[in-house]
Amino acid sequence: MDGRTGPLSDITVIDCTMALAGPFGTALLADLGANVIKVEPPKGDGARSVPPLPPDYANPNAAEPAGADYGGYFASINRNKRSIVLDLKAVADKEVLLALCGNADAIVENMRVGVMDKLGVGYEVIKARNPRIVYGALRGFGDPRTGESPYANWPAYDIVAQSMSGHAHITGPEGSIGYPSGVSVGDIYPGTLMALGLVSAVHHARATGEGQFFDVGMYDAMLALTETVIANYGYERKELGPRGQHHPNLMPFGIFPTRDGGVAIAAPTPGHWQALCEAMQRPDLLDDERTRNTYVRRRNQAFVEGEISAWTAARTKQEVVAAIGGKVPCGPVNTAADIFADPHVKARDMITEFELPGANPKVAIVGSPIKYTATPTGFYRKPPGLGEHTDEVLAEFGIDRSAP
């Protein structure tokens, strides 16, 4: 794409986040057209050096050893942003940040409680400069401004939020102590909620002229994601255990083996169950007392799972999907290679290819999942080199760094 055309193209966000949770959320905003200015310390966001890395990044003998000073991890969550370098321990650079905030809609950070305050650029200081600004904080256990937590000063990572929220407890094989998700959902979901919270608060600020502080606790966000843990215990004092490959209440509703992997099948309703039985050429299962509805099938899980597994295991993923696709909710357990070959992914522009700086091959990251007809979203700016846009952004904001 040629530029910022998304529906948030009139919003400017000062992004002081690093690692994964915060940058993921601000990447969503940038995808939607927001003018996201990534503020990095002199040594940059530590995520820049996280693999996968381009060939000339890791080769010190290359003519351009830092043709791209970032890897795929950084690229996938910092696309569509501009980078400036500020040392917030330096008085002059603090003033630059305050000047940026004076003309921005929002600022976001994911440092530990009190860090920005000690640096002299906390919410109250920034609010004095711009009362309309929205200040978003993403922390492990929230900020004392919105609710004091006994864990407020604890550091946190994705795995901590997954575990404390109950998400890890209900993930993994039945009988296990729990497993983390295969993706960093304890970062990604809080980051997503942060983006939603920011847009909502900016909407309020434009309507009232009043900005505000808001935060998203990683633990809190993951509690919202694992709402079924809360609801089951809140209603019946029922503690859900590790889910395994199947739903705790519905059957069939899980992953079944095939000759080349696995396939998801969900047929809890009468119509879907009938379609599945017909595809399996097992009409007897429609009247069997062990399989007559989803709740009975769940009580007889071993039998039902065995009958379906015997059918799927004799076929490939694609053969199963060909037999029931469009009639029964189903889908193959895709590998990355499967995803790249999927016509849906191509049709929906969910893989974005671009050229890295330097002597590097073309690479790919995920595209934007939010699609509009009037205000298209997508990839319009490569992930930035460290400080690549410092002079450009300061000039745009009318900030003279050399002025006394």
Residues 369-402: pLDDT tens digits? 889 888 888 899 999 999 999 999 999 999 988 7
Q: Looking at residue 48, what DSSP letter applies? A: G
Structure tokens at 3: 């530029």
Residues 322-350: pLDDT tens digits? 999 999 999 999 999 999 999 999 999 99
Helix, strand, coil shares of the chain as percentages rounded to 5? Answer: 40, 15, 45
Tell me what percent of the residues of the chain surpass a pLDDT of 70.
97
Residue 58 has pLDDT above 80, yes or no: no
Lowest mean pLDDT among 63-72, 181-190, 296-305, 376-385: 63-72
SS3 295: helix
Q: Which residues are tagged catalytic?
A: 187
Rounded Cα–Cα distance for residues 194 and 190 (Å): 6
Model's pTM, two decimal places?
A: 0.90
- Helical (H) or strand (E) element with 303: helix 301-313
Lowest mean pLDDT among 71-85, 293-307, 351-365: 351-365
Tell me the residue length of the chain. 404
* Residue of higher predicted confidence among 274 and 235: 274
H helix intervals, 168-300: 185-208, 218-225, 227-236, 270-280, 284-287, 294-299
Q: Report domain extents, the chain.
A: 12-225+346-396, 253-334
CATH number corresponding to 253-334: 3.30.1540.10
Asked if residues 223 and 276 have their Cβ atoms less than 8 Å apart, the reply is no
pLDDT at 57: 79
Asked if residues 263 and 325 have their Cβ atoms less than 8 Å apart, the reply is no
What is the gyration radius of the CA atoms in the chain, in angstroms? 25
Asked if residues 162 and 184 have their Cβ atoms less than 8 Å apart, the reply is no
| Fold of the domain built from segment(s) 12-225+346-396 | Rossmann fold (3.40.50)
Strand order in the sheet with 253-258: 253-258, 261-266, 330-332
Residue 204 has pLDDT above 80, yes or no: yes
Going by pLDDT thresholds of 50, 70 and 90, the confidence category of residue 174 is confident
Residues 261-311: pLDDT tens digits? 999 999 999 999 999 999 999 999 999 999 999 889 999 999 999 999 999
Residue 404 has pLDDT above 70, yes or no: no
Q: Looking at residue 144, what DSSP letter applies? A: T
